C-alpha cells in the first residue's frame, strides 16, 4: 500500500474515533427521561466533560421505590475510585438530569400532561442506558464548597422557603406552615400549639422512607385524596427534620399531596412544599445544612418598595380545641 494513502487512512480513523467519543459524551450529557413540563435546574448545569473523572452506565430500570438502595450501592461501588468522599448529593448536583427526573414524578406535573399516576413509587427515574457522570477532584471540590455554603431560609408570613447559597438566592418556593390554633395531638398525647416555631438550627435527620401519619388521631395514611378528587397511594419522597434552637419540635420539612394548601397556615406545625420542590429541597439540603425559620412581616419588593405582610399568627385569633 502507498505510504501516503496509509497515513491518510490512519488520520481519518483517528478523527472518526475522536468524533464518536465526543458525540457519545454529548449525547449522554443531554439525555434524560424528563417530562417536558419540568424545568432544568439552572444552578446545576453540567460542567464540561473534562471536569468528569468517569461515568457509569445504568444497566437496568430504576423505580422510585428502588432509587435510594440503587444510589447507596452505586456510591459504595464508586467511592473507592475517587480521592474524595463521594455521596448522593454530589452526584445529584453534578447530574442535574437525575434531579429533574425525580422532580418529574410529581403527581400534578404528570396530571398536567394528561397522565394519571396511582402509585408514584412505580415510576422509573432511571432507564437502562442512562449515564451518571462521576466528577473529578476539581469539580467535586467546587460542588462541596457550594454545598457547604447552602442554607434554607423560611419566612412564615410570606409562605416562602428559599434555598440560598451564601447571600445568593437560588430558589424561592411556596410552602404551607402551621395553623394558628391549639389542639390535642394523639401522636404526642397532649395539647399542642400548631404554629411553626421560629429560630435557627440545622437539618439533623433525613427520612427516606416516611410513614405518613395523622398526628391528630395517630392513624397511618394508606392513600390520599388529591386536589382533583382522585385517590392515590402516598408518594415516597424524603422528609427533612431540622433541629431549631437546639430542640427537636417534630416540625418536618416534607411534601404535601395537596398543593392547594400552599401559601396558607394549614399544617400541624410542619413546613410543606410541593412534591417536585420537596425533591429539590432534599437534593440541596443534606444533614448539617443550616436552617433559619423567621417571622418577618416587612418585605422589600423587586421594585424596591416596602410592603407589610398580614399577620399569620395573631394570638388574639388563635383557635383552641
State how far the alpha carbon of 145 is from the alpha carbons of 45, 93, 137, 165, in Å: 16, 12, 12, 10
* Tens of each residue's pLDDT in the chain, 321 residues: 455 544 454 455 545 544 444 444 444 444 433 333 333 344 445 555 568 889 999 999 999 999 999 999 999 999 999 999 999 999 999 999 999 999 999 999 999 999 999 999 999 999 999 999 999 999 999 999 999 999 999 999 999 999 999 999 999 999 999 999 999 999 889 999 999 999 999 999 999 999 999 999 999 998 999 999 999 999 999 999 999 999 999 999 999 999 999 999 999 999 999 999 999 999 999 999 999 999 999 998 889 999 999 999 987 666 666
HSE-CB at 160 with a 13 A cutoff on CA atoms is 14
CA distance 256 to 260: 9
Quote the pLDDT of residue 161. Answer: 98
Q: Are 283 and 253 in contact (CB under 8 A)?
A: no
Count of CB atoms within 10 A of residue 255's CB? 26
> The domain at 170-320 falls in which architecture?
Beta Barrel (2.40)
* Complete DSSP assignment for 74-105: HHHHHHTTSSS---HHHHHHH-HHHHHHHHTT
Q: Is the pTM of this model over 0.75?
A: yes
Q: How far apart are CA 161 and CA 271, in angstroms?
A: 9
In what helix (H) or strand (E) does residue 287 lie, and over which residues does it extend? none
Domain ranges of the chain: 170-320
pLDDT of residue 15: 52
Helix crossing, 96-103 with 275-284: angle to 10°? Answer: 150
Rounding to the nearest 10 degrees, give the CA dihedral for residues 314, 247, 149, 68.
-110
- Rounded CA-CA distance 140/208 in Å is 24
Amino acid at each position: 500500500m502507498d505510504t501516503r494513502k496509509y497515513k491518510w487512512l490512519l488520520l481519518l480513523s483517528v478523527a472518526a474515533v475522536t468524533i464518536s467519543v465526543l458525540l457519545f459524551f454529548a449525547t449522554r450529557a443531554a439525555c434524560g427521561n424528563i417530562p417536558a413540563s419540568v424545568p432544568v435546574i439552572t444552578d446545576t448545569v453540567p460542567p464540561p466533560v473534562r471536569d468528569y473523572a468517569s461515568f457509569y452506565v445504568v444497566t437496568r430500570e430504576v423505580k422510585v421505590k428502588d432509587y435510594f438502595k440503587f444510589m447507596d450501592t452505586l456510591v459504595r461501588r464508586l467511592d473507592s475510585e475517587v480521592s474524595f468522599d463521594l455521596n448522593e448529593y454530589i452526584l445529584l448536583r453534578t447530574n442535574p438530569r437525575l434531579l429533574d427526573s425525580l422532580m418529574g414524578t410529581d403527581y400534578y406535573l404528570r396530571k398536567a400532561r394528561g397522565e394519571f399516576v396511582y402509585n408514584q413509587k412505580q415510576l422509573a427515574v432511571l432507564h437502562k442506558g442512562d449515564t451518571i457522570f462521576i466528577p473529578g477532584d476539581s469539580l467535586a471540590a467546587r460542588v462541596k464548597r457550594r454545598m457547604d455554603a447552602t442554607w434554607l431560609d423560611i419566612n412564615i408570613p410570606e409562605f416562602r422557603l428559599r434555598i440560598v447559597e451564601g447571600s445568593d438566592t437560588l430558589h424561592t418556593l411556596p410552602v404551607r406552615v402551621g395553623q394558628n390554633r391549639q389542639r390535642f395531638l394523639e401522636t404526642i398525647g397532649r395539647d399542642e400549639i400548631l404554629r411553626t416555631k421560629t429560630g435557627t438550627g440545622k437539618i439533623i435527620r433525613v427520612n427516606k422512607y416516611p410513614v405518613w401519619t395523622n398526628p391528630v388521631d395517630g392513624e397511618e395514611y394508606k392513600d390520599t385524596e388529591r386536589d382533583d378528587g382522585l385517590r392515590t397511594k402516598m408518594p415516597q419522597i424524603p422528609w427533612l427534620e431540622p433541629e431549631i434552637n437546639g430542640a427537636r419540635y417534630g416540625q418536618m420539612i416534607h411534601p404535601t399531596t395537596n398543593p392547594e394548601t400552599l401559601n396558607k397556615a394549614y399544617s400541624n406545625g410542619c413546613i410543606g412544599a410541593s412534591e417536585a420542590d420537596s425533591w429539590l429541597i432534599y437534593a440541596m439540603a443534606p444533614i448539617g445544612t443550616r436552617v433559619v425559620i423567621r417571622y418577618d412581616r416587612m418585605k422589600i419588593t423587586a421594585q424596591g418598595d416596602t410592603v407589610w405582610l398580614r399577620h399569620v399568627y395573631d394570638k388574639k385569633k388563635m383557635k383552641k380545641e
